[in-house]
Structure 1
Amino acid sequence: MRRRAKNLVDACGHTVYDLFQERYYYLDYFQRDYVWEEPQVKKLITDLADKFLDQWKTPHAARDVDYYDPYFLGPFIVYENDRKTYLADGQQRVVTLMLLLIYLRRLVDELDGQPGHGATLATLVVTERFGRKTFAVDVDKYRACFEALVDGRDYNLDGEPPYVRRIWAAFQHIETHLPAPLRGESLPLFVEWLLYRVSLIALSAGDRERAIEMFQSMNDRGVHLSPMDHLKRYLLGDAADHDYELLDHQWQSMVSDLESVERGSAFRYVREVLRAKYFDPAHDGGPSLDNATHEWALAHEKDIWPDRRNGDRARFFTDVLAPMKQTYATLLRAQTKVVAGLEAVRYNAWNGVSSQFTLTLAAMRPDDSRAARQRKARLVANVIDLFVVTQGVSNEPYDQKAVDALVEALLPRVRLCHTEDELREALAEAADGWVERLADLVDLRFHNNGPFIHYLLTRLTAWLEVGAEREDPTDRFLRRRTGDRGFEIEHLLTSTAAKYAHVQPDARAYALLRSRLGALVLLDGPDNGSYGGLPLADKVPLYRGDTLLAATLNPGFFDEKGKVRLRRFVKEQRLAGAFPAYAGDAGLADLVEARGKLYRLMAERIWDLGSLGLVTSGAPPLSGKGAGQPRRTRRHHGVRLTDLVAAGLVRPGDRLEGNRKGRAHLAQVLDGARIRTASGAVFPSLSAAAMDALDLSAANGWTFWRLSRTGDSMDALRDRLRARADGGS
């Protein structure tokens, strides 16, 4: 009998909507489990967000999205067996996209007026099929985790296999890395664009046998040149023949030294040096430095070597890359453990700044001593840490994008700095005025900013411990070992408002008081858990055995024996009398306010420019627009609250009103175009203030808030200002 001929491999394009609409995918034995971790999830989210935000403008409506540029996510392999569709390759992207749809549905449900989008997202993720919930990726071992995420429930990961832990963590990474601009008025349009303008190609293998063959050919077979191999061939390609063997050995030594510290770091190092020394985002075009590094270098040869001679590329390796690679290895190690002199590198990494060495490499010179390079690295890391802290205290973004914008603004000046003093001067000018923003710390509260509050309390607590000549506990405070609860944020006031009704009968006012920074300390996890719901009067004596910052709540603590070093340090810092002690429930509000002021004073000393090794010169800030404001990129152009204030449409002191489900919410416009909500917290944007007022993760502040004085919505005022700019009334 003649064997039936198999069909050729078929390819078909799918939008994300097509990918999930009434489609269900299964996994076969040869497919690996879910393995993506934060770097891969972050890249997917960042790539999608960047492509959308580069095109979105505030006046756009859903119909405009149809003209946005599409985005291609690559191919995946499927095959049919027993009337089921199996994923032979592409599970990582498909599962991560499904997690993104789940999270977007949460945000859309919280955003008023978008019921259709929420229903669409829900049916794409899970449907009722044959009497049971069927997920788009229908895998039994993932089901319980998926159900918890869809229902918004906590999920106990104890005893769960690594792939389930990674799926749960991937959802948290999506929440962390989805940019703030996508949580407001642009959210519905982003959903439209993601569903209908983002595409993939399905390669239909036909049957399992050919699916395995295709999977292996795409993942296992062949020796493919890596990006690092391409760079090596390009840079060493103009070396003299008699030098090549030695240079090849040195190259392999550089790669080995860096890879032993962190996988993938050798390629990142070369790319980062190119970015630090030569990349100009304002005039860059052609190949991508990130995705096609050696092609980028080839396209920019005239910028890198204006008068290129034979051997210049090889000398870039011997004279630039090789001398600085040991310092880069030290910086990599400093990201995971506190290193003396480079403490801020660890702090920045803990705060999510995964790329922080561009400015450092730009400031380094090959002829610098290793000690000089490390001192320059310390200055740059300290400035980034100061930026993160002052942004976080002011409820403004301090994520990688915000840091990248700061670096972009500073890079041209830093490249011109040859000495440490020149670098110090440039960084001090950029940071002029940042420390004053620490005054906002008194009004800061614990609300959807747990990691930042944890970090802030870590630094405050450790500063007092070290000042009293105790061991530096910073690394212990930040690091959580497997099976260890680590250090946790402790509320001085119990969550049960009824226990303090005799002091504050208003439950909401009590909750706001309880969440203020002055009502928080950092404690060892097991100790914190053992206190349960004890009232403050019972906990204060127990705090004696905890951190010094918590123990100072005890009256007379400074006068006790064994506190000589603590008293001396507090006096040296001019903080004698600034530590309020608990004196009964009647003064709780005053205690929290006084503790907040104490924390502000401590922060001003920790992040004092002199303490950070910076010297102010009195020169104007680099940007000329005020201290600490990174240069805006194109996507941020448009009307902001500051523009409304500058035009006189909104005034400092104006009251804002918002209403949702019959409940009124109030806020006030402050100097500097910031907004104070009823919680007492201060925010830089209307949407951030709306999220706080509504206790949501997404809200469109432009449509939520109205100006009490005129009754106009902020959206209407924005349109009025645009009309003025266009020559209208």
Structure 2
Amino acid sequence: MDISPDKQNINRVFSDTAYYIDFYQRDYRWTDEPVVRLLDDIFFKFKEQYARSEALDPSLETITKLYPWYYLNTYVTNEVDGRTYVVDGQQRLTTLSLILMKLRHMAIHFDSKLQGWIETKVGGQHGYERHFWMNHIGHRETQKAIFEGIELDEVPVDSGITAQNMVANYRIISANLDRELRDKRCFETFVFYFLNRLVLINLAVEQTDVSMVFEVINDRGVRLRPYEILKGKLLGQIDKIELDRDNYNELWEGRANAINAFKDDEMDAFFRFYLKAKFANSRKEGQRFDGDYHREMFSPNMDKQLGLLHKPAKVKAFLKGDFDYYTRLFIKLREHYGKDQNKFRGMLYNELLDLDAPFHLVLSACTQNDPEEEEKISSISYEIDRFFTLLQIQNAYDSNEFASALFEISAKIRGKPVDTIRPAFNEVLKETIASRRGVQEAETLSYSAFRQTGRLNLNIRFVRYFFARIDEFLAKEMKVGVRHPMRDLVTKRGNVTGFHVEHILARNDENLEHFGNDEERFEQQRNRLGGILLLKGKDNISSNNEVYSQKLKSYANTLLWNETLRTDSYKSKLDMRALMERHNLALKPLEQFGPDELEERHRLLYDIVSLIWG
């Protein structure tokens, strides 16, 4: 490896070299904190010495003699086909170029003869065109407007985040320099200091060494994310002519921008899901991708499977193959995750339960350009909901066991047809339930396991979700609209608009007597799913301690499941009778509510659960 270090002051850094932003580099991402820190660094030594020598005339000789040089950091470049690319350090170099633009404007303000010199540090002339040494090709209009002194509110920033940050940071730089450089003498002294005594080290590296150097030497202002380093390690293996011709960088950037639009640095989540889906058969194997997965991808073991280390042909095939397809698939999943729609409705259920499992399992089941892609998305998202719910309502859920079970399922459905998905889930579901109960075999759903399930062994969000699904089922079967959006039922918790758990059996002497005045039995029984329902805000508060006959009145015009307790819900309701006959459901009004009615109601819920999740 050949690295050539070169100590340069800013006068030399910005003299006759146009710096192109390499594909390794991110957008200009610096915000106020690193910019202010850089300005503090620059002014620290200057102000200290200027206070001692303020009366001296500004000159190169004075600055060289009295002002110590100050090291700003390193920047890395490599030269390809006559162009100098910035591999690392563009955040700092771009900020320094903005400082130079501000100094030019101040030179005009002070009528300083240094104006021409400063202008040559911002850019140069090439034929008819003026170019900037920091050559942000896609953002030249922004650079040009700042250079020419256009009002910042009128500077175009539609080219992207780089342009937006240039304008925002120029505001910070402008305010800072106006505050520090109040007169012409101070200003000109600072210009000599800035250009001659501030030093950077340029590391010029060979093309073959760029990705390694890029990973090791990171801009201290904003740490690179794993996917950004991975980009350098992959694209750095491709010849620049092929890179431009076949649009590999555009492919990467397009997908990264689309995925990160959902959430900052979501691209890292994509790679972790992809690697776990394709290369992990157990939770332990999957955990190696939770950290620096970009390093793990090039480990000896993974290289046998991926083959991306020093193999440009494999890298190109990966980008045009797996990367292209699975990023598109991931974007599709993210677009539907939590969306209230009929297509891929399971993705709404998954999001409401805060389950990210579909990203793992769909990527596992789908092969490149899978003809069953949509069927697999639909099937897997429903099965995840079913798997999670049946564990919850049968007291068989454990978060660690659930996480491990997903990897077992992933291994069973990886690249398999859609008709293998339900059997794979069922097999792991039965094994998990049996393990939790300490028995040899178990069914996917049994009343004995469901019988005591209730508020005391389920978290409140799941209880709200459970009854939201019950109401959705009733609305669909009765061909009526739901009373409230499912998301509201699950997530809203305010005193007015939120939904809360209502005990059908209020705590009073009459109800306690139904259970032989046994406090423990009363609490356990009234918290069973058959003994609770959801009420909205003040409805819940107002009915809290009422006797059952009064509670029935408050259930009118609430949720469909609540109204099935009331006689008027059955009068002349053909759709209700059709529902009961179609599914043999023992729905009926209950004029009183005690232990027998609670058991009846709980059994009815089990029958509906069997229809939804059985």
The equivalent position to 1:324 in structure 2, one of 318, 323, 326, is 326
Q: Tell me the secondary structure at the aligned position of residue 489 of structure 1.
A: strand
Distance change >3 Å, CA 344–CA 397, structure 1 → 2: same
Deviation, 1:406, is 1.0
Aligned pairs (5 A) from 1:322-361: 322-361=324-363
Deviation, 1:429, is 4.5
| Residue pair 2:347, 2:381 contacting (<8 A) in 1 also | yes
Q: Tell me the secondary structure at the aligned position of residue 490 of structure 1.
A: strand
Deviation, 1:254, is 0.4
In 1, distance between residues paired with 2:365 and 2:242?
Answer: 29
| Residue pair 2:566, 2:589 contacting (<8 A) in 1 also | yes
Aligned pairs (5 A) from 1:536-575: 536-555=548-567, 557-558=569-570, 560-561=571-572, 563-575=573-585
2:76 equivalent in structure 1: none
The equivalent position to 1:446 in structure 2, one of 455, 477, 501, is 455
Amino acid corresponding to residue 227 of structure 1 in structure 2? P
Deviation, 1:342, is 2.4
Q: Tell me the secondary structure at the aligned position of residue 436 of structure 1.
A: coil
1:295-318 superposed Cα distances (whole Å, 9 cap, x missing partner):
100001112239995321232222
In 2, distance between residues paired with 1:434 and 1:235?
Answer: 48
Amino acid corresponding to residue 318 of structure 2 in structure 1? F
Amino acid corresponding to residue 224 of structure 1 in structure 2? R
The answer on 1:508 being equivalent to 2:520 is yes
1:488-536 superposed Cα distances (whole Å, 9 cap, x missing partner):
2211111x33243443433333222211111111222232233232111
Distance change >3 Å, CA 339–CA 266, structure 1 → 2: farther
In 2, distance between residues paired with 1:603 and 1:464?
Answer: 12
Amino acid corresponding to residue 390 of structure 1 in structure 2? L
1:242 equivalent in structure 2: 241
Amino acid corresponding to residue 546 of structure 2 in structure 1? L
The equivalent position to 1:460 in structure 2, one of 470, 481, 484, is 470
Amino acid corresponding to residue 449 of structure 2 in structure 1? D
| Residue pair 1:555, 1:582 contacting (<8 A) in 2 also | yes
| Residue pair 1:442, 1:599 contacting (<8 A) in 2 also | no
Amino acid corresponding to residue 402 of structure 2 in structure 1? V
1:279-298 superposed Cα distances (whole Å, 9 cap, x missing partner):
3548959x932211111000
Q: Scaled by the length of structure 1, what TM-score is found? A: 0.48
The answer on 1:291 being equivalent to 2:299 is no
Amino acid corresponding to residue 329 of structure 1 in structure 2? I
Q: Please identify which structure carries the higher helix content.
A: 2
Deviation, 1:379, is 1.6
In 2, distance between residues paired with 1:263 and 1:469?
Answer: 41
The answer on 1:529 being equivalent to 2:527 is no
Superposition RMSD on alpha carbons, in Å? 3.0
2:419 equivalent in structure 1: 421
Amino acid corresponding to residue 565 of structure 1 in structure 2? D
Amino acid corresponding to residue 475 of structure 2 in structure 1? E
Q: Tell me the secondary structure at the aligned position of residue 342 of structure 2.
A: coil
In 2, distance between residues paired with 1:583 and 1:549?
Answer: 15
| Residue pair 2:525, 2:531 contacting (<8 A) in 1 also | yes
| Residue pair 1:363, 1:414 contacting (<8 A) in 2 also | yes
1:591 equivalent in structure 2: 597
Deviation, 1:393, is 1.5
Which of the pair has more CA radius of gyration?
2
Deviation, 1:255, is 1.0
Deviation, 1:468, is 1.1
In 2, distance between residues paired with 1:482 and 1:237?
Answer: 53
2:268 equivalent in structure 1: 267
Distance change >3 Å, CA 364–CA 276, structure 1 → 2: same
In 2, distance between residues paired with 1:481 and 1:555?
Answer: 29
1:276 equivalent in structure 2: 277
| Residue pair 1:491, 1:515 contacting (<8 A) in 2 also | yes
Amino acid corresponding to residue 472 of structure 2 in structure 1? A
| Residue pair 2:282, 2:404 contacting (<8 A) in 1 also | no
| Residue pair 2:493, 2:500 contacting (<8 A) in 1 also | no
Amino acid corresponding to residue 345 of structure 1 in structure 2? M
Deviation, 1:540, is 0.9
User: How many residues were matched structurally?
Assistant: 379
| Residue pair 1:441, 1:599 contacting (<8 A) in 2 also | no
In 1, distance between residues paired with 2:503 and 2:341?
Answer: 31
In 1, distance between residues paired with 2:453 and 2:223?
Answer: 52
| Residue pair 1:227, 1:267 contacting (<8 A) in 2 also | yes
In 1, distance between residues paired with 2:283 and 2:402?
Answer: 17
| Residue pair 1:552, 1:581 contacting (<8 A) in 2 also | yes
Aligned pairs (5 A) from 1:158-173: none
Deviation, 1:424, is 4.7
1:245-290 superposed Cα distances (whole Å, 9 cap, x missing partner):
31111111101111112222211112211221123548959x9322
Moved more, 241-250 or 329-338: 329-338
Amino acid corresponding to residue 406 of structure 2 in structure 1? V
Amino acid corresponding to residue 584 of structure 1 in structure 2? Q
Structure 2 gaps, min length 5: 1-32, 34-217, 431-441
In 1, distance between residues paired with 2:332 and 2:568?
Answer: 45
The equivalent position to 2:491 in structure 1, one of 479, 489, 494, is 479
| Residue pair 2:280, 2:411 contacting (<8 A) in 1 also | no
Moved more, 351-360 or 253-262: 351-360
| Residue pair 1:442, 1:518 contacting (<8 A) in 2 also | no
Amino acid corresponding to residue 280 of structure 2 in structure 1? F
In 2, distance between residues paired with 1:564 and 1:355?
Answer: 40
Deviation, 1:395, is 1.6
Structure 1 gaps, min length 5: 1-29, 31-218, 609-729
In 2, distance between residues paired with 1:384 and 1:458?
Answer: 17
Deviation, 1:600, is 0.2
2:37 equivalent in structure 1: none
Amino acid corresponding to residue 380 of structure 1 in structure 2? I
2:404 equivalent in structure 1: 405
In 2, distance between residues paired with 1:249 and 1:543?
Answer: 58
Amino acid corresponding to residue 535 of structure 1 in structure 2? V
1:385 equivalent in structure 2: 385
Q: Scaled by the length of structure 2, what TM-score is found? A: 0.57
Q: Tell me the secondary structure at the aligned position of residue 456 of structure 2.
A: coil
1:212-248 superposed Cα distances (whole Å, 9 cap, x missing partner):
xxxxxxx995343321111111232333422323111
Amino acid corresponding to residue 587 of structure 2 in structure 1? F
| Residue pair 1:238, 1:311 contacting (<8 A) in 2 also | no
In 2, distance between residues paired with 1:486 and 1:282?
Answer: 37
In 2, distance between residues paired with 1:366 and 1:481?
Answer: 43
Q: Tell me the secondary structure at the aligned position of residue 443 of structure 1.
A: coil
Identical counterparts, % of pairs:
21
In 2, distance between residues paired with 1:518 and 1:591?
Answer: 9
Distance change >3 Å, CA 282–CA 604, structure 1 → 2: closer
Q: Tell me the secondary structure at the aligned position of residue 435 of structure 1.
A: coil
1:15-38 superposed Cα distances (whole Å, 9 cap, x missing partner):
xxxxxxxxxxxxxxx9xxxxxxxx
